[in-house]
Chain A
């Protein structure tokens, strides 16, 4: 059964802290993604990766960085958390190359609150 897991369901951090959100998939998928979901805004793509060590900016990369050292793991890093980064963060993965179409499988999400 397809599985994407995220390290925490709920997280509370203080402004200025460095925050790591971890995502692991067990499907041997090539592609991994980080989105944030905010009320009235839907899901917005932050970063994605189509291979180990590779990363691409999404629509809203400012204030974030990512790391993909292993195929199964994709980390989202908030270098200095700010209150406007309070959000639900969703990790997803998919198989296939650019020329194939496959749905993305999502993790359960991490609700991050920055105080």
Chain B
């Protein structure tokens, strides 16, 4: 049973526009959420996180929104740049820093020139 769902396997966005990546979760015990970016043949790199006590966290061009009642979070990238083309993974934790993360299947973001 998939506890973290990214329902869009791919997303194509024009350069300069906003990219919105979505993630849904089913486990109400999750209280920390992260987004990772992955290029081919490289390990994932941490992008941004949010704890369940917040509903928004912003870091430069990246903003993560959390809607706990809907068990939904989204990553906004504004403006989108060619280097943003990568696979984005949503991840969640219910045990703090010592436990493993539960990942979604990923969304392949393609930024069109």
Cα–Cα distance between A69 and B76 once the two chains are bound (Å): 42
Question: What is the bound-complex CA distance between A30 and B98, given in angstroms?
Answer: 8
User: Complex Cα distance A92/B91, Å?
Assistant: 14
**A95 CA to B98 CA, complexed, in Å:** 8
Q: B residues 33-68 with Cβ under 8 Å of A? A: 34, 36, 41-46, 49, 51
**Nearest CB in chain B to that of A107: its residue:** B43
> Is A41 an interface residue, CB under 8 A from the partner?
yes
Query: Given A90-B44, A109-B42, are A104 and B101 also a contact pair (CB < 8 Å)?
Result: yes
Cross-chain contact A101 with B105 (CB below 8 angstroms): no
Q: Is the CB of A98 within 8 A of B43?
A: no
Q: Chain A's nearest CB lies how many Å from the CB of B8?
A: 13
- Are B100 and A58 in contact, CB atoms less than 8 angstroms apart? yes
Say whether B102 faces chain A, with CB atoms less than 8 Å apart: yes
Number of contacting residues on A, CB 8 A? 35
| Extra A-B contacts (10), CB below 8 Å, given A44-B103, A99-B96, A105-B46 | A4-B43, A30-B98, A35-B103, A42-B6, A43-B89, A100-B96, A101-B51, A107-B43, A109-B41, A111-B41
Residue A50 lies at the interface, judged by CB distance under 8 Å to chain B: yes
**Alpha-carbon gap, A42 to B49, bound state (A):** 18
Given contacts A95-B97, A96-B98, contact A42 B44 (CB under 8 A): no
Contacts of A58 in B (CB 8 A): 100
Q: Contact check, A97 vs B98: say whether CB atoms are below 8 A apart.
A: yes
- Which residues of A are at the interface with B, using a C-beta cutoff of 8 A? 4, 9, 30-31, 33, 35, 40-45, 48, 50, 58-59, 90, 92, 94-109, 111
Interface residues on B, range: 20 to 34
A48 to chain B, nearest CB (A): 5
Given A40-B105, A41-B105, A44-B103: A100 in contact with B43 (beta carbons within 8 A): no
In the complex, how many angstroms separate the beta carbon of A101 from the nearest chain B beta carbon? 5
26 examples of A-B residue contacts, CB within 8 angstroms? A9-B41, A31-B97, A31-B98, A33-B101, A40-B9, A40-B105, A41-B105, A42-B105, A43-B89, A44-B103, A48-B100, A58-B100, A59-B100, A59-B102, A90-B44, A92-B43, A94-B98, A95-B97, A98-B97, A101-B97, A103-B34, A105-B46, A106-B45, A107-B43, A109-B43, A111-B41
